[in-house]
Amino acid sequence: MDASARAEAPGRPEISLRAARPRYGEKIIKGLLVLAAFVSVLTTTGIVLSLIEETIVFLGDVPVGDFLFGTEWAPLFNPPSFGVLPLVTGTLVVGAIAMLVATPLGLGAAIYLSEYARPGVRKTIKPILELLAGVPTIVFGYFALTFFTPEILQALFGNSIQIFNALSAGIIVGFLVIPTVASISEDAMSAVPQSLREGAFGLGGSKLQVTTRVVFPAALSGIVASLVLAMSRAVGETMVVMIAGGLQPQWGLNLGQSMETMTAFIANTGKGDIATGSIAYKTVFAVGMLLFLITLVMNLFSIRFVRKYRQVYE
Amino acid sequence: MTDERQERQREVPERGAPGVRLDVHHGDSAAPGVEGVEPKLRAQREAVFSLKEVTVRYGTKPAVRDITFDIGETEITALIGPSGCGKSTLIRCLNRMNDLIPGAAVGGRVLYHGHDLYAADVDPVEVRKRIGMVFQKPNPFPKSIYDNIAFGPRVLGMEGDMDEIVERALRHAVLWDEVKDRLKTNAFGMSGGQQQRLCIARALAVEPDVILMDEPCSALDPISTGKIEDLMLDLENEYSIVIVTHNMQQAARVSDKTAFFTVELDEDEKHRTGRVVEFDHTEKIFTNPSDPRTEAYVTGKVG
């Protein structure tokens, strides 16, 4: 008996499996959601394309080897010099100092909140910590320049610290990214199933052993993600490094002196009245492209790491 | 294997009361054994736990109330009863696992070889070294099989060759032949039954005195359950085992003594509190219980 014959069999009411009415709302919502997803994709694509375009023009004027491996950055001088390494080291040094500050403090706060704090304490402290992330970075910048450098660093180390210096900028950027590390790491550790903690306590583990040997490794992928995100923020941070770190490129590692970073150079050059199409204008894009590539590599690394070490409990 | 077990059996008496030290305090060492009271059944053993009017509260409401019975050394004691009657709450008192739950408070006395587990100077970490636990759902750490077993011995700083300790624990849990070629692979790759036996092996690796099992087979299929029951019977001569189970056949098959719990409602019928109805030899509970409620439950008329 074929399907149509069966449907028409006597005594059986007719069955319709079609929708009672078309679901237009469903289609509209779907369209809006697709649009929302594509706006960010298109923005990223547009940024990359504009960077690439100007960077190609720039590299037509300046040999790529001189740009990437030169150690003197003086694009506005006469004769100009386009060695970007001092900006790269400035950026990486500030980022490294920031992470040296943010990693222990941020992870310490995360471990305390997730494993040691009573629920009431956690509910109070975590929002305050996250509030720190909402303070505008320019406030951090002036805090570094007008308080941290003169009152703390110069009081401790005297004349070896100049008023614009990489150390102050790096430390304050570190404070700036503590909430990023603490909040995401705390989420990752809180997500570790309680059954794992119980298992470890049941074997006679102390609180510290359970935390460091079970909870921390189980949350490692989230913790590393928080650190990479913090590093990306530190490398991309502009205001603090421009205000407190100064604008003097340095090919060296003297932390007491000014060290211009890539972001500080871009912001400072972009705010001046430089002519569109001039060589100074093009350097902004070339440095921006390089910065984009550095953060891209860091993000790719973090995605791979997180995928490799992600634990699925179940 | 056999030699090993005999050797361990010889150690058992030494692991009893005189050697116990939970703290600097060294009080009256053991609860008195009640020898020869019930000549028909096997001789009463020394109590590893003595519960005296134990009441556990979460907040202000008691979850279990006035629990009094003794748990014998190297016996299997089963706790049975309907859901919500406080069996898991009670078993978690025996190694201070309830400390991890905010608001949980234990009243009455829980004596372990005569020592009050809730005395002010008792360190819960010391307690849990001696009293291991296996949970309802297998909870291997997200580490290799080897590292799961080695975790306990490492945190306790146990002496000896770690490879040997791991092998001994896995052989003891009858898991060695199944996993010896993949000790370095992640424990999450094992089946549920293997994971649970790994958790038992992990508990055995620290050479505890007592093993608490909170519904260890409820997430497992009958074959894995059978393997774990065989394992419990193997371990019975060396360890005191307390098991919470919903499976009455399991209690009847493996346990020497059984405590039957029930739920009582308070006056306004809002709050449920667990009580022990009857505690006796398992044969008696299942064949000739003294309380009609026990009989109704074990014959499947209620619950």
**B97 to A206: CB separation less than 8 angstroms, yes or no:** no
Number of CB atoms found within 10 A of residue A198's CB? 18
Say if residue B33's pLDDT is above 70: no
What is the band of B2 on the pLDDT scale with cuts at 50, 70, 90? very low
Query: What is the amino acid identity at position A205?
Result: G
Q: Which residue of B has its CA nearest to A198?
A: B97
Token pair belonging to B55: 């009441």
Residue among B203, B221, B216 at smallest CA distance from A204? B203
Q: Per the CB < 8 Å rule, is A213 touching B155?
A: yes
- In this structure, the number of other CB atoms found within 10 A of the CB of residue B209 comes to 22
> Which range, A53-67, A93-107, A113-127, B212-226, has the best average confidence (pLDDT)?
A93-107
Query: What DSSP designation does B276 have?
Result: E
Cα dist. A149→A156, A264, B77, B271 in Å?
10, 18, 68, 62
Name the residue among B50, B57, B24 with its Cα closest to residue B109.
B50
Mode of pairing for the β-strands spanning B240-244 and B210-214:
parallel
Q: What is the DSSP letter of A9?
A: -
Per-residue pLDDT tens digits for B244-266: 998 888 999 999 999 999 998 87
A203 touches chain B (CB under 8 A): yes
Which strand (E) or helix (H) includes residue B112? strand B104-112
Chain B residues near any Cβ of chain A (below 8 Å): 95, 97, 100, 102, 125-126, 128-129, 132-135, 137, 139-143, 151-152, 154-156, 188, 199, 202-203, 206
A90 contacts A250 by C-beta, under 8 angstroms: yes
What's the sign of the alpha-carbon dihedral A96, A100, A106, A111?
Answer: positive
Scanning every residue of chain A, which has its alpha carbon at the shortest distance from the alpha carbon of B96? A202
| ipTM higher than threshold 0.85 | no
**Mean confidence (pLDDT) of chain A:** 90
CATH topology of domain B2-298: Rossmann fold (3.40.50)
Say if A202 is an interface residue toward chain B (CB within 8 Å). yes
Mean pLDDT, residues A121-146 taken together: 92
Mean per-residue pLDDT for B205-227? 92
With an 8 Å Cβ cutoff, are A201 and B97 in contact?
yes
pLDDT tens profile B264-274:
887 777 788 99
- Domain coordinates of chain B in residue numbers? 2-298
Contact of B152 with B142, CB cutoff 8 Å: no
- Rounded Cα gap, residues B81 and B248, in angstroms: 9
Mutate to test the interface with A, among B123, B128, B209, B218 (most CBs of A within 10 A): B128
Closest partner CB to B206 (pick from A204, A213, A217): A204
- CA atoms of B11 and A113, how far apart (whole Å): 44
- The shortest CB-CB distance from B135 to any of A198, A214, A217 is to A198
Q: Could you tell me which of A53, A269, A90 has the C-alpha nearest to residue A167?
A: A90
Beta bridge partners of B168: none
Residue A228 in this model has a pLDDT that exceeds 60: yes
Considering only the beta carbons, identify the residue of B102, B133, B156 that sits closest to A202.
B133
Predicted confidence at residue A276, as pLDDT, reads: 82
CA distance B216 to B196: 7
Residue numbers in A near B155 (CB within 8 A): 200, 203-206, 209, 213
Confidence class of residue B32 from pLDDT cuts 50, 70 and 90? very low
Chain B partners within 8 Å of A196 (Cβ):
139, 141-142
In chain B, residues with a C-beta closer than 8 Å to the C-beta of A194 are: 100
Which of the two residues, B17 and A93, has the higher pLDDT score?
Answer: A93
Percent of chain B having pLDDT more than 90?
66
- Chain B CB contacts of A193 under 8 Å are 139
Q: Are B149 and B198 in contact (CB under 8 A)?
A: yes
Out of B133, B142, B206, closest to residue A311 by CB: B142
* Tens-place pLDDT, residues B49-86: 999 999 999 988 889 999 999 999 999 999 999 888 88
| Minimum CA–CA partner of A209 in chain B | B155
State CA B283 to chain mean position distance: 20
For residue B89, pLDDT over 80 is answered with: yes
- Domains of chain A, earliest start first: 74-309 (1.10.3720.10)
Q: Is the pLDDT of residue A151 over 90?
A: yes
Average pLDDT, stretch B284-303? 88
Q: Which residue of A has its CA nearest to B150?
A: A203
Quote the percentage of chain B above a pLDDT of 70.
84
Q: What order of strands is seen across the sheet that includes strand B210-214?
A: B115-116, B104-112, B47-58, B61-72, B272-281, B257-265, B76-80, B240-244, B210-214, B131-134
Average pLDDT over residues A100-111: 97
Q: How confident is the model at residue B191 (pLDDT cuts 50, 70, 90)?
A: very high
pLDDT(A193) > 70 = yes
Tell if the CB–CB gap between B155 and A201 is shorter than 8 Å. Answer: no
pLDDT in the model for residue A311: 63
Task: Give the contacts of B117 (CB within 8 A, at least 6 positions apart).
Answer: B22, B93, B94, B96, B110, B111, B127
User: Which of these ranges, A128-137, A304-313, B85-94, B245-254, has the smallest mean pLDDT?
Assistant: A304-313
Contact list, A199 vs chain B (CB under 8 Å)? 135, 139-141, 199, 202
Q: What is the distance between the alpha carbons of residues A11 and A29, in angstroms, rounded to a whole number?
A: 42
Kind plus residue range of the DSSP H or E element containing A41: helix A24-61
Average pLDDT over residues A37-59: 94
Please report, as a single letter, which amino acid is at residue A199. G
